[in-house]
Amino acid sequence: MKLNAGMFGLACGIVWAIIFLLVALFATFGWSDQTVATCDLIYFGAGTGLAWLWGLISGFVWGYIFGWIGAALYNGFVGTPKA
């Protein structure tokens, strides 16, 4: 069974955006400082005031890109079933 790369990328983008939105909101309230410091190494500005917006946009874009690439690779390795 092959995956629709665009839809899989969209699903991954939405999930990734929600995760980083939550991390950014936790940073706003001062919770989970170690997680925010780790995310700031990868996503510059993860601990700033507009972190929720940056996390939402960046998470969606990177989630879509990596989801699409993963589905495309999966589809490349999956062959048609042999009877």
Tens-digit pLDDT profile for residues 14-50:
998 888 777 777 777 777 677 767 766 766 665 566 6
For 57-70, give one letter per residue: b (16+ CB within 10 A) or e.
ebbbebbbeebbee
Phi, psi (rounded to 5 degrees) for 22: -65, -40
Contact between 74 and 3 (Cβ < 8 Å): yes
Give the per-residue pLDDT at 47. 59
From 7-11, 49-53, 75-79, the region with the lowest mean pLDDT: 49-53
From 5-9, 16-20, 33-37, 53-57, the region with the lowest mean pLDDT: 33-37
Give the per-residue pLDDT at 15. 93
pTM over 0.75: no
